[in-house]
Amino acid sequence: MPVPTLITVAPTGAETAKADFPQLPTTLEELVETARRCEAAGAGLVHVHVRDPEAGHAPTLDPVRLRDTVQALRGATDLVVQLSTGGSVHDPLERRLTVLDAEPDSCSLTCGTVNFGDDVFLNPHGFMSDLYVQAQEREVVPEFELFELGHVTALRRLIDQHGLPYGGRVHVDFVTGVPGGMPGTVEALVAGVQMLPPEVTSWSATGIGRAHLPIAAAALAMGGHLRVGMEDNLMYARGQQVQHNAELVERAAHLATTLQRPPMTTAEARELLGVKERRAR
């Protein structure tokens, strides 16, 4: 039976400046409107980086903003709400751990340090280990972000040390095409998928920039899931900027449906990832 497709939307990220790309959703209102439209278009999960409109829309890990954002998205949609613990390359490790205080359904957990353009995205083993255990204790489902093939080995080590994450599933996301990480090629994706440990129950992939479409097509063909959004890609086509994240979700849903793997519902996404029910009834 064909597996329906989990479409994750990563609408904002930490790298693009609002001043350079005004359609980037950075306020709480814009984020909620984006999440609603993306859910209607077929998304099952939203990967969130919070910005501070009072500080030039810069990335923030302010605990009140994080908590308000989680609650607003949970109130307005049925999407799985995932907070980034990667933050921006400038965020200290201790602050990144406090993201769990906002009680998201899910958190990202990058499985190793990686060069990130001219910067370094730092994820030493001790940090990953602390985050892994704290997510287990707080019943938050991690999504393991793999930017490098070596990150697959680091994931293996985390599972061996700490057992399965909360929910009993292991979902990973290949983030390909970051300058300094694994390339956004089909060959690299195939190599990564072949290396996954048997505990992995589902995987998705995204390609940065022009790798966006080829990686989406390859992931679908290989039985994987998709991540799209302005965090990863600002161009819809050559010379045509993305105007709204929903455009990318709509295109992903269309592609998935054409390949007989239509978008999964938010209920199916919750089941796939094993997230805890935190919505008010």
Residues that bind Zn ion (CB under 5 A): 84
| Distance of alpha carbon 253 from alpha carbon 73, whole angstroms | 21
Is residue 87 a contact partner of residue 14, using CB atoms and an 8 Å limit?
yes
Our CB check for ligand KMH shows the closer of 116 and 203 to be: 116
Number of residues that bind ligand KMH (CB under 6 A): 12
Cα end-to-end distance, the chain, whole Å:
33
CB of 52 to Zn ion, least distance (A): 16
| Residues β-bridged to residue 142 | 107
Binding of ligand KMH by 145 (CB under 6 A): yes
Binding of ligand KMH by 110 (CB under 6 A): yes
**Site for ligand KMH (CB under 6 A): which residue of 69, 77, 84, 176?**
84
Q: Which of ligand KMH, Zn ion, none does 208 bind, CB closer than 5 to 8 A by kind?
A: none
CB of 203 to ligand KMH, least distance (A): 16
Binding of ligand KMH by 12 (CB under 6 A): no
CB of 280 to ligand KMH, least distance (A): 27
Closest CA to 49 of 20, 11, 80: 11
**Site for ligand KMH (CB under 6 A): which residue of 12, 60, 69, 88?**
88
Q: Which of Zn ion, ligand KMH, none does 88 bind, CB closer than 5 to 8 A by kind?
A: ligand KMH
Closest CA to 49 of 18, 12, 19, 102: 12
Closest CA to 216 of 199, 196, 236, 201: 236
Q: Which helix (H) or strand (E) holds 59?
A: strand 58-59
**Site for ligand KMH (CB under 6 A): which residue of 77, 106, 108, 204?**
108
The secondary structure of 227-255 as a DSSP string is EESTTT--EEETTEE---HHHHHHHHHHH
Q: What are the structure tokens assigned to 219, written together? A: 């992931």
**Site for ligand KMH (CB under 6 A): which residue of 42, 44, 86, 142?**
86
Instruction: State the residues that interact with ligand KMH by CB under 6 A.
Output: 13-14, 84-86, 88-89, 108, 110, 116, 121, 145
